[in-house]
Structures are given as C-alpha cells and as structure tokens.
Chain A
Amino acid sequence: MKKLLNNIVTALVDNPADVNITESSEGNSLAFELRVHSDDVGKVIGKKGRTINAIRTVLKAVTLDKDTKVMLELLQ
C-alpha cells in the first residue's frame, strides 16, 4: 500500500528524492502523511485537487474489501 502510494507520487513529481511518506494506523483506519518538494506541491494536488483526489480514490479502491479507512494528507 505504502509502496504503491510512493510509486504513484514519485512518478508524478520532478524531485522524486524529496518524497516522504509516513504511515500511521489506528484501529481500522490507515493514515498517510505525504511530504514533497515545495515545487511539486501543485503537481500532486492538481487542478482543483483532481490529482490528489484521484490518488485517494485509487487508495480507497484497493482497500475496498479490507474494511479499512484510508486517509491521505499532504503536508507542507
């Protein structure tokens, strides 16, 4: 899961070395905190959040039958 997220984000940004993801789980919810290079923030968010929402949708899709809640937050 974390690997998938990491691969998706690194494929989108210009500075793949600065991608940093921390994972924390609590009960049946799974939270990811994502940090990217400041030049890449816009790329990861996309027009009106389209890209980051697409990433969220994909994460939700792959955990659909596991009954876990996935959250993704982009930190500055």
Chain B
Amino acid sequence: MEKRVIEVTGKSVEEAVEIAKKTLELKENEKYEYEVLNEETKGFLGIGFLGGKKARIRFTIKPKYENYLTKWIEEIIDCTGRTDVEVKVRHDNRNKYFIDINGENLGFLIGRRGAAMYAIEHLLSLMLNKKTDSLVRVKVNVSKFKQERQKDLEEMAIRLAEKAASTKKAIFLRPMNSFERKIIHKTLKTYRNLYTYSKGAEPNRKVVISPKDFKKKFNKEQTQTTGDVH
C-alpha cells in the first residue's frame, strides 16, 4: 500500500532508473515515476575524473489502491454484521478501478435503482482522488446489477422508441445518471427515424427520445431545447 521510494545514483539518469527498477523488483504492471535530484556532469577529462558527478534520482513506485478499496467495502459490510460477501477489485492500469461485490441478498448495497451503489462509488472516488494527483475513477458493481440494468434499459429504450415513432411525439424519460443515459443513447443510435438527447441539469437530467420529423411540426418547442442537445 505505502509508496515505495528509493534514491539511486548511477553514471547517467537512464542507468539510475534501471538500477532502481531492479532493486525494487518492479513488476510489469506497476507504474513508476522519478525525480532527478542531480544530473550527471562530465568532469574534466571524461566522466568521473576531476569533479565529474554521478546522476542521482528519487524513484517511486506508484501505489496501487486495490487493498485500500477492498478495506472500505469490507468496513461498510462489517457494519451489517455480514461475512458471506466476496469483494474483488481490479485496476485497468489506466485510471479505473472496478469493484465487484458478490454474495446473497445484497439488495442493501444496491439500493433503490442503484442509489446505494452509486453513493459508495461517489464516496470512494472522492477519497481516492484525494490520495492521488491524477484523476481516478471508481466503478462499483454489486451482483452484476449493472449488466442486468443495462438489459432492462435497452429493452425499455426499444419499447419507448417504437412508441415515439408511432405517436410521433417526443418522450421524456425519468431522470437518470450518466451511466444509464449512455445506454439509452447507445441503444437508439441506429434508429434512423429517431434521435435522442439529454435535457436538464444533474441530477435531474433526462433523456428525450424524439422522432426526427417532430422538429418541423413543433418548431417552437424544439428551439428551446436545442441548447441542451448532446
């Protein structure tokens, strides 16, 4: 968990980096950064002779936060006194952490339409971003909730698309978060006679499914919404 740091000297910066990697046994999936404390300088009459200085760097292996996240989830679950829960954290080696939680009766960790799950997601990404300089994202998935939700939303999108097309009226969906809105937009991308956009401000942002010829018929209303098209 804690940062692993060493200071290394080498004939050149490149050499020092190589030495540091070997000493700390850097694994392939670990990221590192280094800070040059002293550049190498060539002394009089070649390297190291009369005032030549070696390069010195501070080498740091960037910490990975899988354990940190696992601990948090376990702490939350501990409060309920349950033990039969499996927590897995993956890191995509870029900036995303995926937390998969599996077990029986985990409804409390999902909440209404995923509310508890998104709350945990929000809090953990705040905590993690406080610890790191670069932006990281945390995604929580309880008992494959997101996969099932995606299926439901896709079905709903198709159903409502047909309705919008047959009634020739725009349909406003209930407010959704970005993950859910994206699924709707994606599902209906191939529908030639319809287009989708989002309207309103978070957390009340909604997807609108609208027939293409709706624009001409109701020009007045449409002009008000064009600013929100995404």
A-facing mask of B94-134, CB < 8 A → 1, else 0?
00000000000001110100011011101100110010000
Q: Given A11-B130, A53-B119, do A48 and B203 touch, yes or no (CB 8 Å)?
A: yes
Q: Which residue of A lies closest to B107 (CB)?
A: A64
How many chain A residues have a CB neighbour from B under 8 Å?
A: 21
**CB of A2 to closest CB in B, whole Å:** 10
8 Å CB interface, B198-229 against A: 202-203
B75 located at the interface, meaning its Cβ lies under 8 Å from any Cβ of chain A in the complex? yes
> Contacts of B127 on A, CB cut-off 8 Å?
8, 11-12
Q: Is the CB of B108 within 8 A of A50?
A: no
Please tell me which one of the listed residues A48, A50, A58 contacts residue B76 in the complex, with CB atoms under 8 A apart.
A58
B79 located at the interface, meaning its Cβ lies under 8 Å from any Cβ of chain A in the complex? yes
Please tell me which one of the listed residues B119, B126, B203 contacts residue A57 in the complex, with CB atoms under 8 A apart.
B119
A54 located at the interface, meaning its Cβ lies under 8 Å from any Cβ of chain B in the complex? yes
A8, B120: Cα distance in complex, Å: 10
Q: Is the CB of B116 within 8 A of A7?
A: no
8 Å CB interface, B77-104 against A: 79-80
B-facing mask of A33-58, CB < 8 A → 1, else 0?
00000000000001010110111011
A51, B120: Cα distance in complex, Å: 10
How many chain B residues have a CB neighbour from A under 8 Å?
A: 20
A17 located at the interface, meaning its Cβ lies under 8 Å from any Cβ of chain B in the complex? no
8 Å CB interface, A1-34 against B: 1, 4, 7-8, 11-12
Please tell me which one of the listed residues B108, B119, B123, B202 contacts residue A64 in the complex, with CB atoms under 8 A apart.
B108
A65, B119: Cα distance in complex, Å: 19
Q: Is the CB of B111 within 8 A of A57?
A: yes
Q: Is the CB of B111 within 8 A of A61?
A: yes
**CB of B114 to closest CB in A, whole Å:** 10
Q: Is the CB of B123 within 8 A of A51?
A: yes
Q: Which residue of A lies closest to B68 (CB)?
A: A11
A60, B118: Cα distance in complex, Å: 14
Q: Which residue of B lies closest to A14 (CB)?
A: B130
Please tell me which one of the listed residues A7, A57, A65 contacts residue B80 in the complex, with CB atoms under 8 A apart.
A65
**CB of B160 to closest CB in A, whole Å:** 28
> Contacts of B126 on A, CB cut-off 8 Å?
12, 46, 51
Q: Which residue of B lies closest to A11 (CB)?
A: B127
Q: A57-B111, A57-B115, A62-B79 are in contact. List 19 more A-B contacts (CB 8 A).
A: A4-B79, A11-B130, A12-B126, A46-B126, A48-B202, A50-B203, A51-B122, A51-B123, A53-B119, A54-B119, A54-B122, A54-B123, A57-B119, A58-B116, A58-B123, A60-B111, A61-B119, A63-B79, A65-B108
Closest 9 CB pairs of A and B: A54-B119, A57-B119, A61-B116, A62-B79, A64-B108, A11-B127, A54-B122, A61-B108, A62-B80
